[in-house]
Chains A and B, each alone.
Chain A
């Protein structure tokens, strides 16, 4: 089973941290933020960004870091740089910072290949270990993956991962298959992506009895590291040791090879974390602190990361080719045109839309200038978010292939092992991050994009990362939890509000549920929610209201069909959204009816300027 994210070793910081500069070196942009202690609390005060400089002609990631920090210098009037050095610690009120920290996903992030014996058992465990450590898994090889041995070898040869994680077999079990995989890897002589001369880091986390053979076969050919089995027994996953090794090797090997990272590591006062690992730390911290089940998403230009914490279990997946710029055309390819068009409240011919999407792909830094273009991008985002969650659900599962104890009540359920852990009815909070969600011109746009894509059930709270600073806060939390929490609560997390969505279907206009909302000032709002209604009720971020809902007999709000519920709901910058569109959400198939429905909904919540 999945385990908490391993945090890097805490660095010793001898001086008080009053001024902190943090960067995230993304694949295209390096984002810097300045955090300062104002009174008793830490606040994020300035922000700067510059193009990332991992690749030619610069080939030195620190150039982009210094440029982004220089922008903060300009804006804040604080002198932070002395040539290409960061002044630490603070010399006076306007000179230097107490620490510099960073995360990185530049150069394509950490790309790993994992191997297992049985694809949906040790193969999946290895995949979860790598993903949880912030990697992009470029392939999962398993003895039963359906590929012929020579095809496996060809595959290992042609991919150039940064690292390989080998798993397979329970401790004390048969060694044959895992040794066979080691032989394939050895025959393929895999080479790393960066640096022609260094050995590829390879972690072996399989059956401990096979360690001597694996060492014999691969010891000379790779930088082999042996660690505890990630699946010591079938019923238990032990991912932490492998994840820790991935982090160590990422810093010791991969980062050392990437252009300029040696310098970056020296500049930083804490270990550099892979960006998704840092975001994972933050998501897990929120879930733990508030005892919540949550889903977090970071939708970027190239990839979409999904994080979840359910009943304390952390999982992360990355959909490597779902994104809003570089990968926008792949969203079209995977979702299909009809699925994107269903969210667009006007007519556009297929050829024009396809050409527009491809033009965004080849010029990924452009932004929508007209409202139509914005609505098309929001439609694509809904599909990218939806597909990434489907991917996440398929991997965030209970362990597969294990014996289950069944009671008499389970006999008729025929539930298979490996059921997804994502239960939308138990979901408390959705956290959105990434350009399209963080920078949407109206916050209600972010909220509805997530509601449409995820179709939350019952009562669910939603929030967004204000300006994309979760990675920075993730790494900060490893050295100063108070500073990270202060900034997270005050400047990072923007609570959008709460969505109340009954489960069930009905004819448009028919009664779905009756509700009574009691506001903090004692005011009471009684109303009826009809099928096909989308309603927005203002409720400020610092306010809580009580909502009592009586659904009609075929409708469920989590307590059972026709059973009423009473809940305390939290407001937000958007408010309380009552979603009577039904679950699963079904849009009219007829074009004119669909456009009319979308126009009605978008107008009801004031989604776009013309609809307000």
Chain B
């Protein structure tokens, strides 16, 4: 393949990211291009139409569907309060009178003479869309949303659960290969982004929830602990809406895997700063990875000219890579050679390979699809 390499996860001290913030339905944009915004500031607002409640009037009144208009007290478009009479019949004997009351407060949306149904709609709910990151508005999409740009440090995780959050970064362990245990999680970590090392156990997950941390960033987790945390076995990696009490981001994968030294060092260097976090992961074409965005503080040094990550054309000798499949899963090394010809591996498949040299000088032949570039180097 001409471009056979796995784009890796970005871990970089300085980049500029743009995040498209879109309403799920048309509404009003509250900011203008060029405006500075805060992560927790509403940038757009929409009214989500209320829930619809169908009510079969014809059945309840015991009349034909095409007769319901004769019994309706409220007409389409009329406001209605909960328990207010919507329709009633007019029997000769008062005792036989039937009244149909509204189950909700809202408006009468429509009344059908075919089905005998009345549709009632609850009042709209206001949806506010937050800025998500501290930055500036670079584009306004009328009625739909905005694009926010920020100069920042960026760490992408491999997998996460839970939605957008934010908080102050706090480093809970002393090294990237230290596991995060309950004793590391103290009460003052409430609403903070807690960075652990290689692994978080189920009791530490429970403790994190008890403390009320905003996010845990960790090298790995056992699948069985994730299952216990979610309450079900995750089938496909499409996440972001889970509500387990905090957002969880794995930087390496499943199992006990030391956090990459570069990731740990970068997060440690920003301890005490505010970060914007998203656990949303979509492993499909157009992959979405969880992220930790640490906006540059005003006056901080840095190159502000970078608008986007440069597009890599391929892998080169000397590039830092991470092996992402057993038997050497998690090991980091550098590309020693890139043989052009296909090679037979122990499974008997003939594949494109590369030779990877590790820090101790040893080398291993790995299928090219089983490595990940460490990007943003």
Size class of the A contact interface (CB-based, 8 Å): 35 or more
Contact A150 B54 (CB under 8 A): yes
Chain A residue numbers with a CB within 8 Å of B2 are 48, 50, 67, 70-71, 74
Known contacts A56-B286, A351-B224; A366/B324 CB under 8 A: yes
Contact B253 A362 (CB under 8 A): yes
Chain B residue numbers with a CB within 8 Å of A176 are 65, 114-115
Check if A154 is an interface residue, CB within 8 A of chain B: yes
Check if A516 is an interface residue, CB within 8 A of chain B: no
Chain A residue numbers with a CB within 8 Å of B369 are 365-367
Check if B361 is an interface residue, CB within 8 A of chain A: no
Contact B222 A355 (CB under 8 A): yes
Closest CB-CB distance, A144 to chain B, in whole Å?
15
Closest CB-CB distance, B193 to chain A, in whole Å?
21
Q: Mark A284-302, 1 if CB is under 8 A from B, else 0.
A: 0000000000000000001
Check if B326 is an interface residue, CB within 8 A of chain A: yes
Question: In chain B, what residue has the closest Cβ to A52?
Answer: B285
Chain B residue numbers with a CB within 8 Å of A350 are 224
Question: In chain A, what residue has the closest Cβ to B329?
Answer: A359
Question: In chain A, what residue has the closest Cβ to B348?
Answer: A441
Contact A358 B236 (CB under 8 A): no
Check if B92 is an interface residue, CB within 8 A of chain A: no
Q: Which of A5-13, A330-338, A478-486, A597-605 is near enough to bind chain B?
A: A330-338
Q: Mark A172-199, 1 if CB is under 8 A from B, else 0.
A: 0001100110011001110100001000
Q: Mark A348-375, 1 if CB is under 8 A from B, else 0.
A: 0011001111110111111111110110
Check if B372 is an interface residue, CB within 8 A of chain A: yes
Contact B3 A363 (CB under 8 A): no
Q: How many residues of B contact A (CB 8 A)?
A: 60
Chain A residue numbers with a CB within 8 Å of B51 are 150, 153-154
Check if B109 is an interface residue, CB within 8 A of chain A: yes
Known contacts A180-B117, A351-B223; A609/B110 CB under 8 A: no
A179 CB contact (under 8 Å) in B115, B326, B345, B348: B115
Q: Which of A118-126, A321-329, A580-588 is near enough to bind chain B?
A: A321-329
Chain B residue numbers with a CB within 8 Å of A238 are none
Question: In chain B, what residue has the closest Cβ to A176?
Answer: B115
Closest CB-CB distance, B161 to chain A, in whole Å?
12
Check if B255 is an interface residue, CB within 8 A of chain A: yes
Contact B236 A327 (CB under 8 A): yes
Contact A71 B1 (CB under 8 A): yes
Chain B residue numbers with a CB within 8 Å of A149 are 53-54
Contact B236 A361 (CB under 8 A): yes
Chain A residue numbers with a CB within 8 Å of B117 are 180, 183
Closest CB-CB distance, A52 to chain B, in whole Å?
6
Chain B residue numbers with a CB within 8 Å of A106 are 285
Q: Mark B283-310, 1 if CB is under 8 A from A, else 0.
A: 1111000000000000000000000100
Check if A49 is an interface residue, CB within 8 A of chain B: yes
Chain B residue numbers with a CB within 8 Å of A367 are 325, 347, 349, 351, 367, 369-370
Contact A55 B115 (CB under 8 A): no
Check if B112 is an interface residue, CB within 8 A of chain A: yes
Closest CB-CB distance, A274 to chain B, in whole Å?
16
| Residues from 18 to 40 in A contacting B, C-beta threshold 8 Å | 27-28
Check if B205 is an interface residue, CB within 8 A of chain A: no
Q: Mark B221-255, 1 if CB is under 8 A from A, else 0.
A: 01110100000111111000000000000100111
Closest CB-CB distance, A33 to chain B, in whole Å?
15
Check if B49 is an interface residue, CB within 8 A of chain A: yes
Closest CB-CB distance, B179 to chain A, in whole Å?
15
| Residues from 430 to 487 in A contacting B, C-beta threshold 8 Å | 439, 441-442
Check if A54 is an interface residue, CB within 8 A of chain B: yes
Chain A residue numbers with a CB within 8 Å of B54 are 149-150, 153, 180, 183-184, 187
Question: CA separation between A67 and B313, bound complex, in Å?
Answer: 12
Check if B85 is an interface residue, CB within 8 A of chain A: no
Chain B residue numbers with a CB within 8 Å of A327 are 235-236
Contact A153 B52 (CB under 8 A): yes
Contact B52 A329 (CB under 8 A): no
Contact A187 B324 (CB under 8 A): no
16 contacts between A and B (CB under 8 A): A52-B285, A56-B286, A107-B285, A183-B110, A187-B119, A188-B52, A196-B26, A350-B224, A355-B254, A362-B250, A363-B6, A369-B326, A370-B347, A371-B347, A441-B349, A609-B346
Which residue numbers of A lie inside 8 Å of B, CB to CB? 27-28, 48-52, 54-57, 67, 70-71, 74, 106-108, 149-150, 153-154, 175-176, 179-180, 183-184, 187-189, 191, 196, 213, 302, 321, 326-327, 329-330, 332-334, 350-351, 354-359, 361-371, 373-374, 439, 441-442, 609
CB-based closest 10 A-B pairs: A55-B286, A330-B235, A441-B348, A354-B223, A333-B233, A355-B254, A149-B54, A358-B254, A366-B325, A374-B347
- Known interface pairs A153-B52, A179-B114, A189-B49; 15 further A-B residue pairs with C-beta atoms within 8 A, sorted by A's residue number: A27-B285, A55-B285, A149-B53, A150-B54, A187-B119, A191-B25, A196-B26, A327-B236, A329-B234, A330-B235, A351-B223, A363-B253, A363-B372, A369-B367, A609-B346
